């Protein structure tokens, strides 16, 4: 059985950026992957047997807000089907709750609506194309504060 480790914060940022480059830019063709949120969010990286294979980030929508966003969830192709995406979302939720979150939202690729739905996220609004022309939807979830 593989050894699984999750890291948060500065220790995860460099590995998270490498995974995002590979998944979102090289595999999916996004060009504007990095933004100012990267300087203020909590980065999360997941390691299987010491190798970074997944990442995500979370942050409050506004300073002091109890509504937090989850985003940039990515797992390398060779590590998919291992439940790592769910582990990353759950770690984002824990980090957000630790920060005072009572609500979570995310801007998901529309094709992943069912997957996020399995974790309790519900869609709100219509499909939009504001993320480099790719269909995305907004989803949300209420959580219990710590």
How does pLDDT run across 1-50, given as a tens digit for each residue?
779 999 999 889 999 999 999 999 999 999 989 999 999 999 999 999 99
Token pair for residue 114? 């069912």
Q: What pLDDT is recorded for position 132?
A: 82
Look up residue 111 and give its DSSP letter.
G
76-85, 108-117, 137-146, range with the lowest pLDDT: 137-146
Contacts 24+ apart (CB under 8 A), 76-84: 76/19, 76/22, 76/23, 77/23, 77/27, 78/53, 79/48, 79/53, 79/54, 82/2, 82/48, 82/53, 84/4, 84/46, 84/48, 84/53, 84/54
Q: What pLDDT is recorded for position 144?
A: 77
Largest CA distance in the chain: 41
Q: Tell me the mean pLDDT in the region 59-66.
A: 91
Element (H, E) at 91: helix 84-98
CB 49 within 8 A of CB 15: no
Higher pLDDT, 49 or 133: 49
Q: Percentage of the chain surpassing pLDDT 70?
A: 99
What is the distance between the alpha carbons of residues 51 and 73, in angstroms, rounded to a whole number? 17
Q: Percentage of the chain surpassing pLDDT 90?
A: 83
Q: Would the pLDDT of 145 be above 70?
A: no
Average pLDDT of the chain to the nearest whole number: 93
**What DSSP string describes 113-124?**
HHHHHTTT-EEE
């Amino acid at each position: 059985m593989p050894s699984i480790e999750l890291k948060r914060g500065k220790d995860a940022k460099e590995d998270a950026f490498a995974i995002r480059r590979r998944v979102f830019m090289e595999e999916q063709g996004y060009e504007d992957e990095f933004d100012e949120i990267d300087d203020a969010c909590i980065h999360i990286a997941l390691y299987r047997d010491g190798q970074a294979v997944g990442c995500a980030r979370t942050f409050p929508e506004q300073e002091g807000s109890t509504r937090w966003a989850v985003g940039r969830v990515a797992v390398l192709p060779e590590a998919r089907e291992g439940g790592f995406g769910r582990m990353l979302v759950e770690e984002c939720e824990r980090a957000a709750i630790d920060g005072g979150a009572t609500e979570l939202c995310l801007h998901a690729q529309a094709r992943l609506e069912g997957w996020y739905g399995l974790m309790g996220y519900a869609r709100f609004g219509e499909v939009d194309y504001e993320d480099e022309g790719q269909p995305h939807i907004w989803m949300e979830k209420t959580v219990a504060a710590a």
